[in-house]
Structure 1
Amino acid sequence: MTVDNEPRSSLPGESLVFARRLFTHWRRQPVVPIQAVFFPTFLLVTYYLLVGESVMTVTGADSLYGLVPTCAVAGAMFGALAASLSIRFEREGGLLSRMWTLPVHRSSALTGRLLAEAVRTLVASAVITAVGIGLGLRFEGGWFDLLLFLMVPVVVGVIFAAALIAIAVRTTNSSVLMWLAVPAITAAFASSGSPPVELLPGAVQPLVRYQPMATAIGAMRSLAQGDSALWPLVLGCAWTVALAAVILPLAVRGYRAAAESGP
C-alpha cells in the first residue's frame, strides 16, 4: 500500500494561478484594460474640460472630487462587464468543465477570477486617481484615507463582477448582461459624484443619496476632501454585506452548475 504524500497547493496559490491566466488573456486581448482604464479616463478628462468650470460656478466646489470617484467606480463596472463576456465562450467551449476536473480546489477558478478583477480595479483606480491629481485634484486625506479611497471601487467591482458571473453562466445571450450593467452604471453617474444632490428635485433626492453607488462615491469624495466618511462608509458596508449575501451564493451555484454540465 502506497500513500501519496505529494503536498497539494493551497487555495490562495491556485487562485493566483487562475488570476495570472486572466492577466495573460487581458494582455493579449486588451478589451478589458481599455474598458477599465482608458475609457473612464477619457470620460474623466472630457467631462472635466466640458463642464468643470460650470460646476464650479454653480456649486462653488471643484467637480474633480466627484468626477474621479464616479469614473473609478464606473471603470470597475465597465471592466467587469467586458471580462464577463468571455465566460460564455469558456462555458460553450468546455473550458469551465476542463478546469473543474483539474486536481485543484473547486473554488480556485472562481476566486482567481474575482482576485483578478480586484487587482485590475485597484490598478485602474490608481491610474484614474493619478490623472485626476494631474488635472488639479488635491487629496486632503492621509495615506490611510487614500488606501480606503482606492479600495472602495475594488469592493464595488468584485460584487458587480460576481453578479455578472451569476448571469453569464446561465445564459447564452450576452445582451442579457446589459440588463444589469446599464442600470448599475447609470446609477454611478446619477449619484452625488455627477449632479449635486441638492440641485435635484426633492422627490428624487433620497433615491439618489442612498442608492449603493451614491454611498460608495460619497465615501470616496469625503475621503479625498479630508472630511469624515464614517456615515457613507457604514452605508456602503451595509449595502456590500446585503448584496454579497445574495449575489455570491448565486455566482457559486451558477458557476458550479455550468462547469458540471459541460459544453
Structure 2
Amino acid sequence: MTSATKNGATAVERAPGKRIDRTKKENSLLQFFPQTLIQVQRLLLRWLRDPLTVIQSLVFPALLLIILNMVLGNQIQTFANLFKLCEGKTEHCALYGTVPMTALAGIMAGSTAGAITLGREGAAGLLARFWVLPVHRASGLVSRILAELVRITIGTIVIVIVGYVLGFRFEQGLPAALLFIGVTLIFGLGFATLVTSIAVFSAKATLVEGVSLLSSLLMFFSTGFVLLPAFPEWIKPLVQHQPLTCAIDTMRALSLGGPLQGPLIGTLLWSLGAVVVFGIPAVIGFSRASRR
C-alpha cells in the first residue's frame, strides 16, 4: 500500500514491518547528477530534431553573417579606416563587429525558441508528468541551463568557423579566444533567464516573441552594424551602454584589440543583473508550471 504526498509523488511506501521515505532518495545528490545529464540529453536531442531551433540557432546567424559581410563589409571597412578604428587591421575590419553580433543574435534566437518549447511542454502537461515522477526537483531547471550553455557554445563555434572562412582572426591569442566564448556564455545565460521567466509565467508565446523583436531592434542600434562614431550624437549614449553593444565591444577587444575593461564590466552588469532579477521568478514560475 502506498501513500501519496500533496504534490502527487509517492512519498512513503509501506511494507510488512518497514517504512521507506522515498522523498529523501529522490532529492539526493546521487540522483541529481545522473538525472540532470539524462534531461540535458533529452533537451539537446529535442532541439536538434526541431527545425525551428536549428535554423534560429545555427543557420540564420551564419547566413546573416555572410550577407552582412557581402553587403556592408566594404562600407564599414572604409568608415573604420577613415576614423582609424581598426587598430592597424587593414582587412576584414567589419567582421570584428559582425561576428560577435551574429553570434549573440543566434544566442537570443535559440533561447527564444527554447523558451517557446518550454511553454508548449508546460501547456501539454509534460512538465507536470516529470514533477510526479521520482525525479530530483532541481534537475529539470538545471538541465535546461546546462543545455543552453552547450547550445551557445556550439553556435558560437559555428559562427567563428564561418568568420574564419571570411577573414576573421583572433589577434589576441588563445586565452582571449576562450574568453570570447565565455562572454557569449555569460550573455546567453542572462538572456535565457529573462525569456524563461516570461515563458513559465505566460502560456502565450507572443510575449516571448515580443522580447525577441525588441532584441532585434537593439541589434540595429548597436556597434555590430555601424561603429559608434557614425551614430547621431543624441543617441550615442543609448547605443554605447545597451547590453548588445557592451558584449560586442568586449568580443571585438578580445579578438582584434582595444579597450576591454569598460565593455566587459558593462556586459557583466547587464548579464548578471538579468540573472539576479529574473532568476527567482524563473525558479518559482518553473515550479508552478510543473504543478499546473
Task: Please confirm whether the aligned pair reaches a TM-score higher than 0.5, indicating the same fold.
Answer: yes
Distance 2:133 2:250 in 1: 42
Give the conservation status (yes or no) of the 8 Å contact 2:189–2:271.
Answer: no
Q: Deviations over 1:43-83 (max 9, x none)?
A: 00001011101111122241000000000001000111112
Q: Which residue of 2 aligns with 1:202?
A: 233
Q: Give yes or no for the alignment of 1:187 onto 2:218.
A: yes
Distance 1:221 1:37 in 2: 21
Taking a change above 3 Å as real, the CA distance of residues 235 and 12 of structure 1, as seen in their structure-2 partners, is: farther
Q: Which residue of 2 aligns with 1:237?
A: 268
Give the conservation status (yes or no) of the 8 Å contact 2:190–2:272.
Answer: no
Distance 1:201 1:107 in 2: 48
Distance 1:162 1:2 in 2: 40
Taking a change above 3 Å as real, the CA distance of residues 260 and 2 of structure 1, as seen in their structure-2 partners, is: closer
Q: Give yes or no for the alignment of 1:91 onto 2:122.
A: yes
Q: Give yes or no for the alignment of 1:19 onto 2:40.
A: yes
Give the conservation status (yes or no) of the 8 Å contact 1:149–1:220.
Answer: yes
Q: Which residue of 2 aligns with 1:125?
A: 156
Higher strand proportion (structure 1 or 2): 2
Taking a change above 3 Å as real, the CA distance of residues 185 and 12 of structure 1, as seen in their structure-2 partners, is: farther
Among 104, 113, 116, the alignment partner of 1:73 is 104
Give the C-alpha shift of residue 210 in structure 1: 0.7
Q: Which residue of 1 aligns with 2:5?
A: none
Give the C-alpha shift of residue 170 in structure 1: 2.0
Distance 2:227 2:259 in 1: 19
1:1-263 map, 5 Å: 1=18, 9-60=30-81, 61=86, 62-261=93-292
Match of 1:53, as an amino acid?
N
Give the conservation status (yes or no) of the 8 Å contact 2:32–2:136.
Answer: yes
**What are structure 1's unaligned runs of at least 5 residues?**
none
Distance 2:120 2:238 in 1: 37
Match of 2:198, as an amino acid?
I
Match of 1:137, SS?
coil
Distance 2:152 2:247 in 1: 14
Match of 2:50, as an amino acid?
Q
Bigger-Rg structure (1/2): 2
Taking a change above 3 Å as real, the CA distance of residues 8 and 247 of structure 1, as seen in their structure-2 partners, is: closer
Match of 1:121, SS?
helix
Taking a change above 3 Å as real, the CA distance of residues 175 and 54 of structure 1, as seen in their structure-2 partners, is: same
Give me the CA root mean square deviation. Answer: 1.8
Give the conservation status (yes or no) of the 8 Å contact 1:162–1:247.
Answer: yes
Give the C-alpha shift of residue 116 in structure 1: 0.7
Distance 2:98 2:189 in 1: 21
**How much identity, in percent, do the aligned residues show?**
34
Give the C-alpha shift of residue 127 in structure 1: 0.8
Distance 1:220 1:58 in 2: 20
Q: Deviations over 1:112-139 (max 9, x none)?
A: 1121111101111011011101101121
The ranges of structure 1 where at least 4 consecutive aligned residues each deviate by more than 6 angstroms after the TM superposition are: 2-7
Give the C-alpha shift of residue 2 in structure 1: 6.4
Q: Deviations over 1:184-238 (max 9, x none)?
A: 2322332112111111111111111011111111100000013342221112112
Instruction: State how many pairs are aligned.
Output: 261
Taking a change above 3 Å as real, the CA distance of residues 148 and 254 of structure 1, as seen in their structure-2 partners, is: same
Match of 2:235, as an amino acid?
V
